Amino acid sequence: MSEYAVTLPALPSMVGVARHAVAAIVGDDVGAEAAVRIVSELATNAIRHATDASGGSFVLSIVELEGVLRVAVDGPGTATSWDGQDGDFGRGLVIVDALADKWGTDVHEDGFIWWAEIWR
């Protein structure tokens, strides 16, 4: 099992940092491109909702365990809904839904965790 986590400021420029972190860790392995695109969407959501919640940071985590690559973004706020393609937001989660084998949201006292798994 390998695990990586980093706390990043909730700034739009950190989406690229999150993508590069995933690419560096996962490399060219199966699911790498999907993981990079998924993290881009999840980090964007975290930054948008952190801004709504007066700034802050988010935690990017990457875990590889027994054929499963799990990427997650833990951030402040209450972003627990998916507007889908017809809402003002949520189109990125359509991408997550298409690329991930499994994904979801966990709510905790300080915010939310968006996560996605890619089976390898």
Q: Is the pTM of this model over 0.85?
A: yes
pLDDT 10s per residue in the chain (120 long)? 689 999 999 999 999 999 999 999 999 888 999 999 999 999 998 888 776 555 689 999 999 999 999 999 998 765 555 445 455 555 788 999 999 999 999 988 888 899 999 998
Tokens matching residue 112: 């939310």
Residues 79 and 84: their CA atoms lie apart, in Å, by: 13
Q: How far is CA 112 from the centre of its chain?
A: 11
Residues 52 and 82: their CA atoms lie apart, in Å, by: 16
Q: Are 85 and 91 in contact (CB under 8 A)?
A: yes
Domain total in the chain: 1
pLDDT at 60: 97
- Domain of 36, CATH number, reads 3.30.565.10
Residues 73 and 42: their CA atoms lie apart, in Å, by: 6
Q: Are 35 and 87 in contact (CB under 8 A)?
A: no
What's the domain range around 14?
Answer: 2-119
Closest Cα to residue 71, out of 30, 22, 14?
Answer: 22
